[in-house]
Structure 1
Amino acid sequence: MMSSSPHISDLLNRYMEICQMHKVQPSSDVVSWLKKAMVQKLTCQKCTMVISLDQLKNADLFPLTDLFRSNDSNALETVDLLCGSSVGLDECTILSLMHAINTRLRVVDIRDTPLKEDILRDLFNSGLDCQVLNVKSTEIQTLNMAGKFMHMHTLNMDFCTSLSTMEKDCFTYMPNLTRLSMCATRISNLWTTVAALLKLPSLLELRFQNCLCCKDTSPCHLKDVNATKISNNTPTEGYFGKLHIDEYTVSQKYNLHHPSPICFQKHYREYMIVSLPRLRVLDNCQIGKFDGERAKTVFSSYYEVLPNKRQHKESIISVLHMRETGTSGILNQKSLKSKGPSLHKKSQSFYSRSLCAAKLGSSAWPVLHPLSNISQIMKEEGRILRPRQFEYHQTDPSLMAFGTLEGEVVVINHETGNLVKYLPVFDTNKSVLGLCWLKRFQSKLVVGYDNGSLRLYDINDTLPEVADNYSSSIGVDFDDFQHLTSVHVNATDEQILTSGYSKKVAVYDISTGKRLHLFTDMHREAINVAKFAHHSPSLFVTSSFDHDVKMWDLRTKPVNPCYTASSSSGNVMVCFSPDDLYLLVSAVDNEVKQLLAVDGRLHTNFDIAPTGSGQNYTRSYYMNGRDYIISGSCDEPVVRVCCAQTGRRLRDIYLEGQNARSLMFVQSLRGDPFRHFHMAILAAYVRPSSKWEIIKVNLLSSGQYSAEYQKGQHLCLSYRLGT
């Protein structure tokens, strides 16, 4: 039986015996490492064995693993495991060796090691007892370090260039992690990143970009004691392009390099300082008292922590309790007894908004649910539906209609995924570019096609299988409108408004199909969108690439607009707020603002950072009535949620494909008119193939992806007929 207190001199003999058992020659490198450890023990130094996997073969790993599983290895105090490339070594055997060393692991350095993502995932899920982990330049896209890393104080993930996401269980068991470096990754989401980092109670030093002279996360020794003011417009060259630094944050000698995309978020530094109050060093720059105070000021003016003007996080249970008892959270029992409960009753709307705030405050990872399974559509095998436009129903919370690039119109129950109506296409050379449900006649919708044709459908009617003149299901013929891009119905369901890639706007009688008006030269360039007001049947607004938005009134035979408001770039779209008090204007490259509908004066500028692309077409809509706006652009995989009254940013929602090369961009979006903090996004995949997908988003639930996604039905699935 082995001695309970083995001596270091026995370790070499035990290694030789194990090699004989495995019928392999002892590694001269392993023998050398063991002898060095023996010398350390004899000279009263800390007994540490340094293993360099680059010097070993696969056959050497098995006896070494068995050696650390034996009691003799307890003579070693610590073990450092270094692996620069490990080409040819079995990855599972390396993982077994790490676990065999167990609590004696001090440093695990597997930088530049071409480990497969599933091996890294196993490592992160199982955990390690090391103190330092260096996985620099390894290939992993989604980080979920949910395993136990109880002794780890330093983690280096620099140059993990595929890493884009932290899952909600990440960093759950790292109570002693004080230093974290993630430079030159693809991490970009402030909200999910901070939610993950808040699970690290000991985190003091963090960096997503580094000072070139700094080898670790500690403060840069070249930084001036007093920060020098630099201009807001001074760019710093970085790994991803140009980075704009706010004044007073860094010194002129402090140069940033290898930033992750999160560093390009506006007021990134201030957001991190306020959200992680225990942090002492960010990006090799010390956080002083002045930095903290200034960060709070900037944060409060640009970001909204909780929705609906709530200042403090509350649990869902406490809000439900207050709703049942009719009290507010600021009252104590004594005040209730003295003043009586009737004085402190709140409206149901108050509790509903508080409940939304509590749910959103605890859900950094919103649920994304792709509407990919419409199995009741019986068509030829393998046919794909590619959505091009969609609209929620205005009175039925369960219905959604979408038109496709091929010209089909599909009505679905988006709550269950069941098909309600499928309207086939008889002219294969057209795509659906406009949809609008009628308000009073709730089963009808107007559809506009890119060939200029207009159709009025009733989803309660049965379509003939073959039609010689396929005008519409209810027999109304409309004159074509060339270059059509937009259709809209007025408040009384009497007129249809159309616009397109021209300077013209047409108004049709919805019951007869007759064109009532054709207005020409309303703008200097093409009119992208024309929208009626929700409550005034004669008012409509137009937006154009000529930079202008114009309000018109049909009662005055619109020759001159009621007013004109201008943007600094071409306008992509405009829409009324649900109560018609405001206009939401979206211009190219994230220029989004809210105007007073009465006279076009600026009310809110949402101050979204531009990308510099003249092709970044931005679209924005209202959510939660007119409380919030959602905005997305065709060159970006993100939807931004902002308070409509203050312009402050509440949340960003990132669309991510199944791998680093799967790029998703926002083509259109809508707020759910019946559910607060719900929306749907039309996303397009650029690589590896062109696919279009409608994705529902629930900001009030946490889970990142729906159960279907987690079971393997990835976001890149498209609507398939007959499957």
Structure 2
Amino acid sequence: MATDIPTLEQMYIDSCKRRDILPNTEILSGFFKAEVKKSCNELCSLEIILDYLEDIDVPPLLDVCATIETSEIEAVDIRNGPSCSLNGECALSLMRAFNQKLRAVDLQDSPFGKDFLRFIPRELSQRGLACQILNLRSSHFRKLNMAGKFMQIHTLNLDFSTSLTSFLEDCFTCMPNLICLSMCETRVANLWTTISALSKLSCLVELRFQKWLCCNGSASPSASSGGNLEDQPDVGLPISCTDIGEQLTDTEEETYLNPGTDEEFGNLFSFNNIAINQPVQSMMEDSSDDSEVDFSSNWREFDYTDLLANLSSGWNRQVNLQNEVSSGASLNQKEESLTGSFGRHIADVPLKYTPRHASPICFEKHYREYMIASLPHLKVLDNLPVRKIDRERAAVTFSQYFEYLPYNRKHKESVVSILHKREIKETRSHIQSKNQKLSYSYGNSQYFYTRSLCAAKVGSSAWPFLHSLSVSGCDLGDGSRSFRPRQFEYHPSLSSLMVFGTLDGEVVVVNHENGKVVRYVPSLGAMNSVLGLCWLKKYPSKLIAGSDNGSLKLYDIEHLPPTVTGMYLGAGSITFDDFDQLTSVHINSTDELFLASGYSKNVALYDISCGRRIQVFTDMHREHINVVKFSNHSPSIFATSSFDQDVKLWDLRLKPIRPCYTNSSSRGNVMVCFSPDDHYLLASAVDNEVRQLLAVDGRLHLSFDIEPTRSSQNYTRSYYMNGRDYIISGSCDEHVVRVCCAQTGRRLRDISLEGKGSGTSMYVQSLRGDPFRDFNMSILAAHMRPNSKYEIVKVNLLASCDNAKGYSKSQDSCPSNSMGG
């Protein structure tokens, strides 16, 4: 007589007996439920809830895992809740033991097992997992690096991983079959690095960084609803914005908005239901200053009527779908279109839409269009279907507001190919016919190959190389010390030199290529924060330094000792008359005169050779003058910018009683500077209002489309880079530097600054383009925390860095955000 084959339940009990362990009732219950499903001809699945397990329960369960592989159990689901205390290694060994039967894994932070989701992301990233669905909610990882094998995974949910800010470039290459990805309420913000990482996902059809919901819970057309998305009519926003192919009840919506219990967490990600209950293939076929912003609270509830009105008036910050509604369509026409498309009349009941749990990336201007244009296989974005008309409009928007590659290159080329063309002296006309003729006026210039090489290198990675300028080699008599830079300037003729002034009144000349101090001047109580620095052009060893207490000095670094070990006697310096509350100094093109401005309406003119103040021009503005700049070529022309919202151009030959012209912004002006050829003036006002003026008469040439933050303290500074080809702009309430084409205003890249550790983003205090190296710059940045210290971060857009180091040193300065260039 044949012996009966023991059930999984019996095998588990036997294993517990051998180990002298009491069987876990929840495990027994799981086996029983699987048997019931099998008898009812349902999907025979085993669910394991880690909250009910202790470390001692894992070994006997592992004993039966090999049998489960060959049993009639079709799938194993594992999840944990807030009360899980299981050791991370035990949990991972259990997940891996189920192998190909592992279907869904739900993991979230556990207050009782503190190492659980610190240990698991690291192990998962290194070794991978065989599951199909991974819901990972953790506050313990900031940069996603999934390097292990995830060959089976088709759905990844990282919602509410509130420390997640960015990805490594190749973090998704290990997931060749990933179809659905959700990252709601993460801190991901950079469009360029995000797209660079997501572009590795050739199968990705559904993506979300926020969740659009319809308050009445009606179903929406989507990738999995059976319709052809490409052919759907242009009806504005869909009738509802619920999840893919399902209708949220009031209870389910509340669950999503207020996750908490074990049961609630299991319902967070609607992709779960799709992937579990529908084959993956069918889904593919159906688819054709010191504070941080709380992004989750900035959206407001609105109804359909409000939406149409706001879209037509360009309300783009809160709804990035303004192109969905044509400017000439009336509300009645839209209602008729909606009624015909969806078979229901909605005129009597205003439909309300609420975007929930938006990540910061959703607040970027033209976010939706950028995503659609950059991911050609995407079918659903933020629960909204991507139609043919959406792609057409996205392409137009992308070409209007973004630059795919520098210098308007349309296609990526290899550096080797460009060098080969240069060596064989291929005719420029032939090259331009392949690359589409440049829109720049200097497209036929001698710089063609240089710009082509730059375009190739910048286009090779969205992750530029960033590193903090580490200063060493200065013997201060008290061992090594840490400087607190507050202002800096590149040398105009010596490519390796930079000078920076500190919050403590020191002036430091440094070789920024090797980090060695060349000259050091202590404050000795004579200076406070150094806010004004300017090199002489004809005398490259000399510079002017001004501090906020009004002190003004000229230093000759050739006559300064290289190190300071004793008392500083003031050798190699000239002292000028003080200028009270100084914020800015600048020298004219002949090195004869310099100007000083500050917290007043006046500007002082100094004679460098005589070492004295010549004149004070009074009441040049209605409010204090933040920055004064001489032109680069005319020794008598200078510009001023003031918080009275005016930028003015002056001529010393006219004894500046009245300006040559005045140009006004809508906010107070923080910065103004001339382009290297003096063709333009670049004016930066509070909260990202950046404009380029024609220097000859002050007419507006270009207004850069940078999204404001609605903060009156968001002081913006902008400078030129690569001559006058590009501008770089940063603000003191934001951790990003924007690179824009100075000819078209199109955005080329955003450079995000991140500190070391969770929640330590950095803000931009000041910045300068490197005058000798294309697509290189330095940024004066500080951490977004009290008592943070400034540091200089060097950026090279031509070199990629897969894992830029965090910029961290304990720093104790108090930021002063408003004044100085």
Which of residues 241, 244, 262 in structure 1 aligns to 2:318?
Answer: 244
**Aligned runs of 1:523-534 on 2, under 5 Å?**
523-534=621-632
Residue correspondence of structure 1 range 48-197 to structure 2 within 5 A: 48-68=45-65, 70=66, 73-75=69-71, 76-113=73-110, 115-136=116-137, 138-197=139-198
Report the alpha carbon displacement of residue 167 of structure 1 after superposing the two structures with TM. 1.5
Question: Which residue does the alignment assign to 1:199?
Answer: 200
After TM superposition, list the pairs within 5 Å mapping 1:320-335 onto structure 2: 320-327=419-426
Cα 1:7–1:703 shift into 2, 3 Å:
farther
- Does 2:286 align with 1:286? no
Aligned equivalent of 2:637: 539
Moved more, 83-92 or 98-107: 83-92
1:635 matched to which residue of 2? 733
Identity, in percent, stands at: 56
Aligned to 1:305: 404
Note if 1:271 corresponds to 2:370. yes
Give a deviation string over 1:661-686, Cα, whole Å, max 9, x none: 21311000000111111100000123
User: Cα offset for 1:371?
Assistant: 0.9
Question: What secondary structure is seen at the aligned counterpart in 2 of 1:92?
Answer: helix
TM-score, normalising length from structure 2? 0.79
Give the alignment partner of residue 610 of structure 1, picking from 708, 718, 721. Answer: 708
**Residue 475 and residue 181 in structure 1: after superposition, are their counterparts in 2 closer, same or farther (change >3 A)?**
closer
| Distance in 2, Cα, partners of 1:698 & 1:118 | 34
User: Structure 1 residue 375: deviation in Å?
Assistant: 4.4
Which of residues 790, 806, 809 is equivalent to 1:717?
809
Choose 539-548 or 89-98, whichever is displaced more. Answer: 89-98
Q: Does 1:572 align with 2:573?
A: no
**Which of 782, 800, 817 does residue 702 from structure 1 map onto?**
800
Write the mapping of 1:162-561 to structure 2, written as runs, cut at 5 A: 162-212=163-213, 226-228=234-236, 239-242=296-299, 243-245=317-319, 246-249=321-324, 253-327=352-426, 349-381=447-479, 383-427=481-525, 430-463=528-561, 472-561=570-659
Cα distance, 1:229 vs structure 2: 7.7
Shift, 1:380, TM fit: 2.3
Letter in structure 1 aligned against 2:656: P
- Residue aligned with 1:684, SS: strand
Q: Is the 8 A contact 1:693 1:716 kept in 2?
A: no
Describe the superposition over 1:362-401 as per-residue Cα deviations: whole angstroms up to 9, x where unpaired: 1101111101342444442574310000011111111111
Q: What letter is aligned with 2:318? A: H
Query: Per-residue displacement from partner, 1:17-59 (whole Å, max 9, x unpaired)?
Result: 4324433222122223234434555666554221111222221
1:216 Cα offset (Å): 12
* TM-score normalised by structure 1 residue count: 0.89
Q: For residues 170 and 271 of structure 1, what CA distance do their matches in structure 2 show?
A: 21
SS in 2 for 1:660: coil
Deviation (angstroms), 1:529: 0.5
The whole-number CA distance in structure 1 between the counterparts of 2:507 and 2:591 is 20
Q: For 1:715, give the aligned amino acid.
A: Y
CA distance in 1, matches of 2:117, 2:471: 31
* Separation in 2, partners of 1:459, 1:204: 61
Letter of the 1:265 counterpart: E
Instruction: Work out whether residues 491 and 532 of structure 1, in 8 Å CA contact, stay in contact via their aligned partners in 2.
Output: yes
Whole-Å Cα distance in 1 between the matches of residues 765 and 668 of structure 2? 17
Amino acid at match of 1:189: N
Contact 2:788 2:811 in 1 (8 A): no
1:88 Cα deviation after fit: 1.8
Looking at structure 2, the residues matched to 540 and 103 of structure 1 have their Cα atoms a distance apart, in angstroms, of 72
1:152 to partner: Cα distance: 0.8
Equivalent residue for 2:30, pick from 28, 33, 36: 33
Matched residues in 2 for 1:505 and 1:347: separation?
40
Amino acid paired to 2:296: Y
Are residues 372 and 74 of structure 1, via their aligned partners in 2, closer, same or farther at CA, if it must alter by over 3 Å? farther
Amino acid at match of 2:324: T
- Say whether the 8 Å CA contact 1:542–1:549 is kept in structure 2: yes
SS in 1 for 2:76: strand
Unaligned runs of 5+ in 2: 239-293, 300-316, 326-337, 339-350, 435-443, 813-821
Cα distance between partner residues in 2 of 1:189 and 1:57: 41
Alignment length (residue pairs) = 689
1:61 Cα deviation from its structure 2 partner? 1.7
Cα shift readout 1:581-631 (whole Å, capped 9, x = no counterpart): 100000011000000000000001002111111111100000000000000
Amino acid at match of 1:53: L
AA partner of residue 757 (structure 2): N
Report Cα offsets for 1:539-595 as digits up to 9, x if no partner.
111111111111111112111111111111110010000001100000011000000
**By how many angstroms is 1:687 displaced?**
1.4
Q: Which amino acid aligns with 1:195?
A: S
8 A contact 1:9–1:38 mirrored in 2: no
* TM-superposition CA deviations, 1:177-219 (whole Å, max 9, x none): 1111111111110000111110111001111111235899956
After TM superposition, the structure 1 stretch with the greater mean CA deviation from structure 2, 606-615 or 32-41, is: 32-41
1:317 CA displacement: 2.4
After alignment, is 551-560 or 455-464 more displaced?
A: 455-464
C-alpha distance in 1, partners of 2:13/2:565?
A: 82
Deviation at 1:253, TM superposition (A): 4.7
Local SS of the residue matching 1:18: helix
Q: Which moved more, 1:399-408 or 1:151-160?
A: 151-160
**In 2, Cα distance between equivalents of 1:18 and 1:218:** 48
Instruction: Report the alpha carbon displacement of residue 659 of structure 1 after superposing the two structures with TM.
Output: 2.5
Is the CA contact (8 Å cut-off) linking 1:684 and 1:691 kept in structure 2?
A: yes
What does the per-residue CA deviation read over 1:267-291, in whole Å, with 9 as the maximum and x for residues that have no partner?
0010001000110111111111111
Q: Per the alignment, in what secondary structure is the counterpart of residue 354 of structure 1?
A: helix
Residues 51 and 85 in structure 2, CA contact (< 8 A), matched pair in contact too: no
Q: Is this contact kept in 1: 2:210–2:357, CA < 8 A?
A: yes
Instruction: Return the alpha-carbon distance in structure 2 between the equivalents of residues 99 and 484 of structure 1.
Output: 65
Q: CA offset at residue 423 of structure 1?
A: 1.2
Unaligned runs of 5+ in 1: 1-5, 231-236, 336-345
Q: Deviations over 1:300-343 (max 9, x none)?
A: 111111111211111222222222222379969xx9xxxxxxxx
**Structure 1 436/96 Cα, relative in aligned 2: closer, same or farther at 3 Å?**
same
Inter-partner Cα distance in structure 2 for 1:356 and 1:654: 20
Aligned to 1:212, what secondary structure does the other structure show? strand
CA offsets, 1:339-358, max 9 Å, x none? xxxxxxx9762221111101
Find the aligned partners of 1:658 and 1:389 in 2 and give their Cα distance: 23
